[in-house]
Amino acid sequence: MCGFKKIFKKNNESKNFVINFFKQIFTWWNRQTIGTLIYTLFKGKLAGVDEFGNKYYSSSKGKRWVVYHDTVESSKIPPEWHLWIHFLKNNIPEKNMQKFEWQKKHKENLTGTKDAYKPEGSLSSETKKNLKKYEIWNK
């Protein structure tokens, strides 16, 4: 029975490889396109990797780009890499940058998810604000 599990696992891995290969060729929202892959192979020089696994590249002509770890979502770029990729800073961010105690850990944009910020009184909030009715002022 163990041999069957190994064959099934191997079959499943090769199936995932084929699916991921076609995703990469035909979709832009799954990591990178085939054009970006080829450009990265021939012209790209790895600049660094952030805490989310995104890889940052630069070319000799000064072009900079990112290959996302999972889905393509620009809000997944941490602030220090955002500065570098938009040419606001020329130095590559350090791996263990010292942050201030008031700085929070970077999170991607959560709009449209169950974890999105819903202030008290908003239509999607679970808590409702107790609003008084408007009173007319008499002159």
Flag whether 134 is in a domain.
no
What stretch of H or E contains 67? strand 64-67
Could you tell me the residue range of the domain that residue 78 belongs to? Answer: 2-85
Q: What share of the chain is helix, strand, coil (3-state, %, to 5)?
A: 30, 10, 55
Flag whether 90 is in a domain.
no
Flag whether 108 is in a domain.
no
Flag whether 57 is in a domain.
yes
What is the tens place of the pLDDT at every residue in 9-35?
444 556 777 877 777 677 666 667 778
pTM: 0.64
What is the tens place of the pLDDT at every residue in 34-91?
788 888 999 999 999 998 899 999 999 999 999 988 778 888 898 899 999 999 999 9
Flag whether 17 is in a domain.
yes
Flag whether 32 is in a domain.
yes
Flag whether 96 is in a domain.
no
List the structure tokens of 135: 């009173």
Flag whether 49 is in a domain.
yes
CA distance 87 to 64: 9
Q: What was the pLDDT predicted at 63? A: 95
The tally of domains found in the chain comes to 1
